[in-house]
Amino acid sequence: MKKQPSKSSKAAADVQETKAILNSMEAHLTYSISKYSALATTHDWYEIAARTARDRMAERWMETMQTYYRDDPKRVYYLSLEFLVGRTFSNAALNLELHGEFKQALHELGQNIEAVSEMEFDAGLGNGGLGRLAACFLDSMATLELPCYGYGIRYEYGMFHQKIEDGQQVEHPDNWLRYGNPWEFPRPEVLYPVKFHGRVVQFTSEDGTLRHHWVDTEEIMAMAYDTPVPGFGGKTVNNMRLWAAKSSRDFDLRYFNQGDYIQAVADKNASENLSKVLYPNDSTEMGKELRLKQQYFFVSASLQDILYRYKKHHATWDELPNKVAIQLNDTHPAISIAELMRLLVDIHGLGWDHAWNLTTRTFSYTNHTLMPEALETWKVSLFEAILPRHLEIIYAINFQFLRQVMHTFPGDNELLRRMSLIDENGDRRIRMAHLAIVGSHTVNGVAQLHTELMKSTIFSDFNRLWPGKILNMTNGITPRRWLNQANPALAELISANIGTGWIRNLDELQKLRALAKDAAFRKAFGAVKRANKERLAAMIEETLHIRVNPDSLFDIQIKRIHEYKRQLLNVLHVITLYNRIRQGTHPNTAPRTVIIGGKAAPGYVMAKRIIRLINNVAEIVNNDPLIGDRLKLLFIPNYNVSNAERIVPAADLSEQISTAGTEASGTGNMKLSLNGALTIGTLDGANIEIMEEVGEENFFLFGLTADEVARLRASGYNPWDYYHGNTELRQVLDMIASGYFSPDEPDRFQSIVDALLCHGDHYLLLADYASYVACQERVDALYCRPEEWLQKSILNVAGMGKFSSDRTIRQYAEQIWHVGPVPVC
Ligand SMILES: *Cc1c(COP(=O)(O)O)cnc(C)c1O
């Protein structure tokens, strides 16, 4: 192995930089914390280190903003109701290429950088994949020096903290701002009013055109909080601007005139509830009034801010689409389309057609799911009460749109009904996905299969009307957080062998292919995995008081708990192994540690029941003397970004077992593969593309294809056939139903078995069971040949270049946004 000196793989920290960091930290100890060092807590040291890192971003941040102001390039605005950022300190230190220096400086102060980093609360302003994607994109946009801004909500409470009590999920509030947030800069002067409710009055202006006023509204103020987003190398530092709701009532004299001071303060609290809490639903919408208000709140503030910035350089609106690209992360911000029309037509006096032309050339929309329960719709009646003018605008858009459909496909009333922005079945509802498609110039899916299914199923009518409008942008993850930061030992090993170019250009990992045949490299690679497994085992022992064997196969499924993701299929396999071991029919292969982690939406009863089943099965399996060390099942509570950073580097096997056609892309699959896990997976989402890149021989494929799933469902799927046709499967289901795992309440899990046998097994677990179990046997066999396993593991890492979010963002920049890099000098 050749050693190559480079910034991030060198052992020694730069002496000058370390000294400067030490000086800054000592200054912050005195002037920011004001404590003697003997009294400073570990949290104080975190605060000091964070402020010191923040200082080092501030200048580049200001220079970046100044450059954008001066050059006035076309800017990209990424609108997302979620940003699942996680911790910032380590990431900032690494992206500034000062991690070694911080480590050394903290060491000289008697502190350990890992312990200090652990003090930081996760910024958990997202549910799962969609929010994490937004965070990875911000990192890539800054690294690629693109003039981009993230816009979202500064929730006071992010994703709930999950605890397991008596085997069940219990939600606790995530009070992440309790000790303040050193990364954000409040901007009390950046304040916009956002209106709700009221009514619309029509009048005819002097030039005879019909105009609309939205009057008698209630107002809430949106206040900006800015967070710097450093690209790798720290040259470009972009901005993430999150809005917090503030009462505008401070200035409302009515209350004081009425002498009702207490009511005035009470109302102030009520309006500030708007940005209080993140809705903890992943891939399901609940149609709650507060959620709609959150959406409009952040959209309205963001658009006012975007137009204000545009106006500083431009006298007319004609250049808007040449200067502004707005990406809608799912339909959550789709009301933007009606809001921009309102601003241009009602406030700035543009004609309808002119405004519509500008609007549709500005927006693009990313779809994240095909599942009907996840497609957002809002009751017309709710819209009418909260956003009456927007409802009128949506009707007007719909009128013109349906006229266009009618001209293109005359006489097809059924088509009009299907494509309308309004669902007229039952209570009338607004289809937000249809609004987003009609109001955007480009729509994208997030993996090849997903995009093809969008075009051939749910959006086939739109694809026929506007061929070419739907594009594919396969998701990616940032290698800075998911390899350089999460797995420093593997990052070091890779850099020592192929240099550090991979951090910016992940395709360079291909150079590892040759090294997969190098026994010395395999040994070093194996040692890194082994150390990461020991670290996870230590964490598990500390938190769960369960000892796991680091030599066992770490079989990992971490993601939101959802029926379509099929954690239950994983459990059926665990019970199968349990039975085989007890019956003496399991070959004496390597021991297995099955680890499952993920949160269930608080109102998703079946998902919570599955968590309970996992914990109850674990209780039996882990304490059975006949099983001993051969099989362990663990549920790791509170899966979040920081826990992912611990778990992912320790995985041997990545479970990506969703029913084919249901997972739009997945990004957890990419994180695990990038860290050397082999995937056991279905042909779903980005799994397909991962398999193409790493090679079929390095991927454990099982199960029905999306086509086969569709055909089986259409031809009348009968789960009982599988139950009667497979003795092992029947035994497993009978055990669950009979209370084997819940002796204190035997029918606790009856409903789970009923969902499979009596309610149609919608996600086809029974149809895929045999194929899955057989595939797991191949996994076991390979794990007993460690050199082969290691080779395949290395080839997985080597094949992951495509899944850098840098590649994804370059595609968006070229094919959708039409923007290029703006280097900051
Ligand atoms: C990556 C990530 C996800 C998405 O995982 P999938 O397996 O793609 O569903 C969800 N939550 C967290 C915390 C993540 O880091």
Give the model confidence (pLDDT) of 460-478 as tens digits: 999 999 999 999 999 999 9
**Residue of 671, 748, 792, 802 marked catalytic:** 671
Query: Cα separation of 466 and 408, whole Å?
Result: 11
For residue 390, name the pLDDT band (cuts at 50, 70, 90): very high
498 C-alpha to ligand 1 centroid (Å) = 29
For residue 260, name the pLDDT band (cuts at 50, 70, 90): confident
Query: Cα separation of 161 and 171, whole Å?
Result: 6
Taking 50 as the threshold, does the pLDDT of residue 8 lie above it? no
For ligand 1, whether the C-beta of 685 sits within 6 Å is no
Query: Cα separation of 549 and 634, whole Å?
Result: 12
For ligand 1, whether the C-beta of 128 sits within 6 Å is yes
pLDDT of residue 9: 42
CATH superfamily of 479-803: Glycogen Phosphorylase B; (3.40.50.2000)
pLDDT of residue 5: 40
What is the rounded average pLDDT of the residues 715-737? 98
83 C-alpha to ligand 1 centroid (Å) = 12
Torsion of CA 632, 637, 639, 644, to 10 degrees: -50
313 annotated active-site: no
For ligand 1, whether the C-beta of 132 sits within 6 Å is yes
CA distances to 425, 435, 622 from 377, in Å = 12, 10, 45
According to DSSP, residue 103 is labeled H
Strand partners for 247:
220
For residue 88, which of 229, 187, 224, 225 has the smallest C-alpha distance?
229
What is the rounded average pLDDT of the residues 818-824? 98
Query: Cα separation of 10 and 718, whole Å?
Result: 60
Q: Where are the domains of the chain?
A: 72-87+122-475+810-817, 479-803
Distance from the first to the final alpha carbon of the chain: 37
Taking 60 as the threshold, does the pLDDT of residue 69 lie above it? yes
Query: Cα separation of 764 and 753, whole Å?
Result: 13
Return the H-helix or E-strand segment holding 135: helix 129-143
Return the H-helix or E-strand segment holding 556: strand 553-558
Taking the CA of residue 643 as reference, the ligand 1 atom at the shortest distance is 13
For ligand 1, whether the C-beta of 241 sits within 6 Å is no
565 annotated active-site: yes
**Residue of 377, 667, 679, 808 marked catalytic:** 667
According to DSSP, residue 658 is labeled P
Query: Cα separation of 691 and 480, whole Å?
Result: 23
600 C-alpha to ligand 1 centroid (Å) = 13
According to DSSP, residue 821 is labeled -
282 C-alpha to ligand 1 centroid (Å) = 11
Query: Cα separation of 211 and 260, whole Å?
Result: 37
129 C-alpha to ligand 1 centroid (Å) = 5
Taking 60 as the threshold, does the pLDDT of residue 148 lie above it? yes
| pTM (predicted TM-score) | 0.97
For residue 7, name the pLDDT band (cuts at 50, 70, 90): very low
667 annotated active-site: yes
As given in the structure block, the two tokens for residue 363 are: 């927006």
pLDDT of residue 256: 67
For ligand 1, whether the C-beta of 640 sits within 6 Å is yes
661 C-alpha to ligand 1 centroid (Å) = 18
**Ligand 1 mutation target, pool 478, 653, 667, most atoms within 8 A of CB:** 667
Taking 70 as the threshold, does the pLDDT of residue 242 lie above it? yes
pLDDT of residue 667: 98
Strand partners for 632:
593
Q: What ranges make up the beta strands (E) of 603-719?
A: 631-636, 653-656, 678-681, 700-701
For ligand 1, whether the C-beta of 599 sits within 6 Å is no
Q: How many residues does the chain have?
A: 825
Strand partners for 327:
78, 364
Helix axes 567-583, 605-622, angle to 10 degrees: 20
Taking 90 as the threshold, does the pLDDT of residue 252 lie above it? no
pLDDT of residue 267: 73
**Residue of 87, 99, 161, 368 marked catalytic:** 368
Taking 90 as the threshold, does the pLDDT of residue 283 lie above it? no
Percent of the chain as helix, strand, coil, to the nearest 5: 50, 15, 30
pLDDT of residue 1: 35
For residue 512, name the pLDDT band (cuts at 50, 70, 90): very high
Instruction: Locate all alpha helices (DSSP H) within 509-598, ordered by sequence.
Output: 512-515, 519-544, 567-583
Query: Cα separation of 440 and 466, whole Å?
Result: 11
74 annotated active-site: no
Give percent of the chain with pLDDT exceeding 70.
97
Establish whether domains 72-87+122-475+810-817 and 479-803 are of one fold.
yes
Report which protein residue has its CA nearest ligand 1's atom 10.
128
Question: Could you read off the pLDDT of 623-675 as tens digits, one per residue?
Answer: 999 999 999 999 999 999 999 999 999 999 999 999 999 999 999 999 999 99
Query: Cα separation of 327 and 308, whole Å?
Result: 18
481 C-alpha to ligand 1 centroid (Å) = 13
Report which protein residue has its CA nearest ligand 1's atom 4.
129
91 C-alpha to ligand 1 centroid (Å) = 18
Report which protein residue has its CA nearest ligand 1's atom 8.
666
As given in the structure block, the two tokens for residue 269 are: 């609290």
668 C-alpha to ligand 1 centroid (Å) = 5
What is the rounded average pLDDT of the residues 382-404? 98
**Ligand 1 mutation target, pool 560, 562, 672, most atoms within 8 A of CB:** 560
Query: Cα separation of 137 and 690, whole Å?
Result: 19
Q: Any residues with CB less than 8 A from the CB of 731 and at least 6 apart, and which? A: 579
For ligand 1, whether the C-beta of 667 sits within 6 Å is yes
Q: Any residues with CB less than 8 A from the CB of 334 and at least 6 apart, and which? A: 328, 365, 376, 432, 433, 435, 436, 439
pLDDT of residue 10: 46
72-87+122-475+810-817 belongs to CATH 3.40.50.2000 = yes
pLDDT of residue 268: 73
Taking the CA of residue 644 as reference, the ligand 1 atom at the shortest distance is 15
Query: Cα separation of 296 and 305, whole Å?
Result: 14
For residue 267, which of 281, 288, 247 has the smallest C-alpha distance?
247
Question: Could you read off the pLDDT of 579-607 as tens digits, one per residue?
Answer: 999 999 988 888 999 999 999 999 999 99
pLDDT of residue 372: 86
As given in the structure block, the two tokens for residue 411 are: 């006489």
Report which protein residue has its CA nearest ligand 1's atom 5.
668
**Residue of 75, 529, 560, 802 marked catalytic:** 560
268 annotated active-site: no
558 C-alpha to ligand 1 centroid (Å) = 7
Report which protein residue has its CA nearest ligand 1's atom 15.
641
**Residue of 559, 630, 632, 792 marked catalytic:** 559
Lowest mean pLDDT among 371-385, 523-537, 600-614, 716-730: 371-385
Query: Cα separation of 811 and 475, whole Å?
Result: 10
Three-class SS of residue 573? helix
Query: Cα separation of 135 and 121, whole Å?
Result: 16
671 annotated active-site: yes
Strands 429-431 and 422-423: antiparallel
Cα-atom radius of gyration of the chain, to the nearest Å? Answer: 27
Cβ–Cβ under 8 Å, residues 21 and 98: yes
Burial of 424 (0-12, 13-18, 19+ CB in 10 A): exposed
Per-chain mean pLDDT for the chain:
96
